Each structure stands twice: as structure tokens, then as C-alpha cells.
Structure 1
Amino acid sequence: MKFFKALATAAALCAAFSVQARPIEAIQKDGTILLATEGQFAPFNYFKGSTLTGFEVEVAELVVKKMGLKVKWKTIGFDALLTGLKQDRWDLVIASHGITEERAKAVTFTAPHYCSGGMVIAMDPAIRSAKDLGGKIVAVQTGTSYLENVQKVATIKEMKNFPTDVDARSALVSKRVDAWVTDRFVAKEVAAKNPDAGFKLGEMVFIEQIAAAVNKGNTGLADAWNKALAATMADGSYTAISTKYFNEDVRCH
């Protein structure tokens, strides 16, 4: 009997994880869209006290409002975001994912909501470019495009990956690594907020487009998101949020 119960439980679990991604019509009928982000990547998505905020959070809430929906947020470790999306645990992920060929095999990306890239940060002013990473120990966050691109620098001594970008930064501060590669806007904010820490901003290792993601093939939701995002970019509301966080318009040109 236990055997059959186990089979039934397994079947139920399989059914739960084989549910199709919610199409835009189902989301509109419900009236609420479930968005997931990391919540540990300032200034893009982070907690100020108990409040989730940041550039991406504000942009997403603006887009959702344009879609005529309400938003419900879920925060989880960066490495689990796209996995949870494929399991239909949320409708859309917005967490500074760079568009890469590998990721595009697993998810459908929306139009990019900003352009950025990976910047070298070090305490030693001589470590500025990808070339200068030769023979050095470099910190990056697990599951990021920063990791993928640092791996291409064949001359590095060692790459250390950390569960959060904050952990990678801490490794640089404590001199466990020689350099840290992260988003250029994150780098600029960290240096500005910690003027006495000794952070030296270097050059860009690569440039990338950053976009939200939906489950593979959920083009109806992606199209609805893109239409609403374009509207925020056309009416000036996107520019206002971008200027608030970065003193510039960070959309892709």
C-alpha cells in the first residue's frame, strides 16, 4: 500500500511540475502577476529594511501597472531564479540577467530594460583590465554572466565564485582575492558609497543587454511585457527612475 501511495505522490509531484506556464490571458484573469528577483543586488533589486526596492523593482512595478495588473514579489537566491521559472513557480524573473545564448536555450527573454556589463574592481590601481587579471585570483557571483566571461580570461590564476555579489565584494575587501568583476553600475555605487574603502574602478570586461525572462515559449506574456515596457520608455517614466538611480538613461541604444 505504501508503494502505491509513493507512486501516487510521485505522480502528483510530476504533475505539479509539468504545469504549463501561465499565459497572459490567465494572468489577466487573475489580476496579479508573480515576479521573482534576488533582492541582494543593489541598486537593482535589494531590501531597504523590510521593503523590496531598486531600479529593476521600480521599473517592473511601472510595467505591471501599465499592463493593468497587480504585482506579487518572490525573492530567492540568484542561482535558483531561472530554475524556478522553468518549474512555473513564478511568471517572470527580473534580476539583472544578461542575455546569453546558453540562457536563451532555457528561457524566453523580453526586450532589454538596460545595458551594462562587467567591470573590474580592485584595491590595486594596477589591476584595471581583463589583461591585468592574468595571474590573479578573481571573485565573481555564481550563475552570472560575469563568471562566464571571466572564465574566458585564460591567464587568471584562480576564479572564486560566491553565492551573492556581496560575498564576492567581501572577499575583495578582506584581500582573499585580487579583483572582483561585477555590473558596472553596482561597481560605481559601491565605490561612491564607500569612498574610504580603497575601491579602484577599472575597465569593462564585456558589454551586455539585460532583460527579464519568462518560461520558454511564453511569447504572449513576453509581448505584453514588452509593449508595457516600451510605453514606460516613451512617456518619460522610465527615464525618471533611471535618472533617480544612475543620473543617466541606461536603456540600450
Structure 2
Amino acid sequence: MKVVRAVLAGVCVALAATGVQARPWADIQKSGTLIAATGGDLKPFNYFEGKKLTGFEIELAEAIAQKMGLKVEWKVLSFDSLLAGLQRDRWDMAVSSHGITEERAKVVDFSNPHYCGGAVIVSKDGKVQKVAELAGKTVAVQTGTTYLARLNDLKKSGEVDIDSVKNFPLDRDARAATLSNRADVWVTDKFVAMEAIRLLPQSGLKMGEILFPEHMGAAIGKGNQGLLDAFNKALAEVMADGTYEKLSKKYFDQDIRCTD
């Protein structure tokens, strides 16, 4: 994990020192390279195996880029910096399990969804299963996620009397807080939860109900219609030719594309 943090820190410093300019689709085509940012810490979607960046979204984005006649240059940063950097034109797009929301769509454009997920309740020994059971509990969640915003909304509205919502820079930190009893509940993507439960069978982690479903898409600079259209066209092609299904079954043993 120290290697991952060192990579994250190094990339952040490099990007701060060099301002990458927004590029229209024609310039991206000419360069032959799509510059994409990701969090690199959300298994099985984007993560490191040793020094190699991999995961469902990484392989999918690279397959899409190949259809576009491009290779991908990855930038790995903390999740909460990805959309901010995109707004500052530091990369062409962000591919990191971003839920498509009206609020986010005010500042970036989204591709068609590349999977459908949702926030789920996860607790040790399944002690918390339902939304109503969050009352009086401490909930751990990652900074910058829609999950954090919606949990805070639940708390503020009084709909559920959550004791406190603790946010952490990394999703695995939120998980660790739950495992060490510093939080009662971890809220994360359902597929991330499934993977954690599979990899940590002795942890006692169990998944409860979905808090809210989400459509996930790649974020693209506001108004970069040429890139958005090209990406959506290539996404449709990998969904039609069997590439998507193959990758989806590799990582999840099921097809996770949206059906609605």
C-alpha cells in the first residue's frame, strides 16, 4: 500500500507542476493517446496488482480506447480530486465509478453508463441490514462520493437519525474503520462490498440492503462533445461485440451493464 500512496503523491506533484490543457477530439485523435484519470484504489474496478494498474474499468476503458484508435495514458489520484482536475483540463476524462448525478452533470459531461451499481450497507456479522437500522450508528464512507452526500442528507433531514457520518480519503480506510469497530457500518458500492466479503471471509462482513441504486459513467470535460460522442460509440461497440460481457464475467461472474 505504501507503493500505491507513493505513486499517488508523485502523480499529484507532477500534475501540479505541469498544466495539461483541454484537448478537442481532433487533437486527441492526432496524439493517439487518451489521458484518463482514475482513483486506483477501488477493487475490482480500478486498483493495483503490485505496480500494475488493472481492474474492470481499466480494462474496459482500454478496450474502448482501442476501438477509438487510441491508447490510454493513466493518471492515478485520490478520488475526490478527479472531477476537480477534469474541470481544470488536466486530463481528458475520469473513469472511476462516478455515479451520474444532476449536480455533477452541471460541471462535467457523462458518457452513457458503463455499469449499474448502488450503495449498500455493510456491517460486521450483519448487525445492520436496513436503512432504518442506521439510527444511532456511526457510518464510514469515502470522501467525494455521492454516498457521503446522500448519507449527510439523510442525517440532516431527520429521515434517519444517524449518530455520525465519518468520511475517509480511501474506501478501504472506511472499510478498515468498520472492521476495527471505529464505525458500525461501511457504505460502499455493492460490487466492491461483494469483492471485500469474498477476499476477507474471516472478517464477518455481511451486506445489507441497497441504500440507493446508481448509474455509473465516465466523466468528460464539459462541452467536449466530439470526445463524448466517440467514447459512447466505442462503448456501444464493445457492448455489442462480446468484449463487455467477457470483462464483466471475468471480474463479477455476471453481466453488470444497466438494463433500464
- TM-score normalised by L of structure 1: 0.91
Contact 1:110–1:226 at 8 Å: present in 2 too?
yes
Among residues 228, 234, 247, which one is paired with 2:234 in the alignment? 228
> SS in structure 1 opposite 2:192?
helix
In structure 2, the residue matched to 1:114 is 115
Taking the aligned partners of 2:144 and 2:70, their CA distance within structure 1 comes to 30
Structure 2 residue runs without a partner (length 5+) = 1-16, 156-160
Could you say if the C-alpha distance between residues 70 and 112 of structure 1 is closer, same or farther in structure 2, counting changes exceeding 3 Å?
same
Structure 2 residue 177 is matched with structure 1 residue 171: yes
How many correspondences in the alignment?
Answer: 238
Structure 2 residue 14 is matched with structure 1 residue 27: no
> SS in structure 1 opposite 2:103?
helix
State the 1:20 CA deviation: 6.0
Taking the aligned partners of 2:126 and 2:93, their CA distance within structure 1 comes to 40
User: Once superposed, what is the RMSD of the aligned Cα atoms?
Assistant: 1.5
State the 1:106 CA deviation: 0.7
Q: Which amino acid aligns with 2:122?
A: I
Structure 1 residue runs without a partner (length 5+) = 1-15
Taking the aligned partners of 2:25 and 2:18, their CA distance within structure 1 comes to 19
State the 1:239 CA deviation: 0.3
Among residues 193, 201, 206, which one is paired with 1:187 in the alignment? 193
Taking the aligned partners of 1:161 and 1:229, their CA distance within structure 2 comes to 33
Taking the aligned partners of 1:47 and 1:218, their CA distance within structure 2 comes to 30
In structure 1, the residue matched to 2:81 is 80
Taking the aligned partners of 1:170 and 1:19, their CA distance within structure 2 comes to 35
> SS in structure 2 opposite 1:112?
coil
Taking the aligned partners of 1:228 and 1:92, their CA distance within structure 2 comes to 15
Taking the aligned partners of 2:38 and 2:247, their CA distance within structure 1 comes to 18
Q: C-alpha offsets along residues 184-229 of structure 1, whole Å, 9 cap, x if unaligned?
A: 0000010011111110110100000000011111111011000000
> SS in structure 1 opposite 2:114?
strand
Q: Which amino acid aligns with 1:111?
A: N
Structure 1 residue runs of 4+, over 2 Å off? 16-21
Q: Which amino acid aligns with 2:75?
A: K
Q: C-alpha offsets along residues 17-58 of structure 1, whole Å, 9 cap, x if unaligned?
A: 998621110000111111110100100000000000000000
State the 1:67 CA deviation: 0.2
- TM-score normalised by L of structure 2: 0.89
Q: C-alpha offsets along residues 49-102 of structure 1, whole Å, 9 cap, x if unaligned?
A: 000000000000000000001111110000110111111111110000000111
Which structure's CA Rg is the greater one? 1
Taking the aligned partners of 2:77 and 2:25, their CA distance within structure 1 comes to 23
Contact 1:107–1:214 at 8 Å: present in 2 too?
yes
Contact 2:118–2:189 at 8 Å: present in 1 too?
yes
Could you say if the C-alpha distance between residues 52 and 17 of structure 1 is closer, same or farther in structure 2, counting changes exceeding 3 Å?
closer
